[in-house]
Structure 1
Amino acid sequence: ALGAALQVFTEKTGRRPQWEMLHAYWGAEYDNEEIQRALQECPAISYHLSDNIFAETAQLLAEDKIVGWFQGRFEVGPRALGNRSILANPANPDMKDLINKKVKGREPWRPFAPSILAEEIGRYIDDPVPSRFMILAFQTRPETMDEIVSAVHVDGTCRPQTVHQETNPRYWELIKAFKERTGIPAVLNTSFNVDSQPIVNTPAEAIDTFLNSGLDILAIGDFIATKNK
């Protein structure tokens, strides 16, 4: 439909549209009040309102927790770009296998990807360009590969997302907080879903996936949720 509209525009005006897509956050959004209502309906979890969701989540990631991260508007397209994501410590060499075993159930050869602060992308790849949508592959620099080892493919390539403060300030703040604790300006990012299921959209879907997978933590809006034992 979008392509057809652009074609008509070109035919009618003789001009090609000049527009650069800077983000894919066009879907539904839920505020803390809506999120809390969903949390209250689930007796299997405990939750609290975080004083600083970025610092608290970053510390949990640094402790090798696997976190479901549910923030802001749902991403349009096939990639989770920091609003409906499963996040983890990219420096833990066992994390890829751990996520596959506990959460994703994917084939072991399928790589995960790193989300990297845009201003730090040159730390991991040579001749970097913005890669906002996790669709470009680059050769990873050997001297820093160990910092994102669980998000690098077996051939030494990675498919990064550059995270820009102006288009996703909450995700940028989280990665910045993780860097402050670990020295690493990146996190492992994969889509917030389990095998054969779509990416979660609503708070209820996020809670259901959290409870029925091996996720350790759910960071949803400004709330931190854990499973009752």
Structure 2
Amino acid sequence: MRGAASYLWLPLLLAGCAGRGDGIAVGDHWIPGPAIDRAVTEMKGSFPQWGRDSLAWAILDGGWGPAWILHDELAAASEAARREAEILAARLRAGEDFADLAAEHDLGRPLGGAGSGVGPFAPTPFELGSGRVAAAVAALEPGEWAGPLRTIQGWELVQLLDRAAVPRNRAAVQVRRIVIPVGGEEDRRRAVEAWNTLPLAGSAERLERLPFRFRDGRLARDS
């Protein structure tokens, strides 16, 4: 357990978070609770056997938690990438073809991901390599797209190309993704490290839902 001196400033952080409402603070990086709930709701339709807390954790620890840190740390680059992604989304809404836009960014290669047999849960939807992308894809039908999505890679647009004709919670999927990158590999590494080490604060109910192994020694009351 960490020494009390490490947490002398945390009461101030907790007080500051109280004014933000529902969410989780990782250091001074804020993850809004309603955003977590929306992602969980998208995923829940395809994975009803999972509890909401388990889905929230899988999405956050599947890259979305570190993504909030990355985008905070590189705020100007993130905003520029988001604007570019929004322009592409507007073009899609206007009727342009997803594959054509993906080809413009040299990201038109379909990416596959199976929905079973990975990690401590089986089946799992997270072979796509991004918890937030997996949540969005879970709510899509073939041909539909979603985004822009904040991910550890940057801002993404994703299109579901195909889903195997088996129950959705076991179905392999094929997707096409457009990624407007934010930062580089070292930035992502630092964001993941921060996600796993910075002090935690925010909504007590949210914090209690996180796995004990993740929050142990990182809360003000643990000092």
- Do the structures match in fold with TM over 0.5? no
TM class by smaller structure: under 0.3
The TM-score with structure 2 as length reference comes to 0.23
The TM-score with structure 1 as length reference comes to 0.23
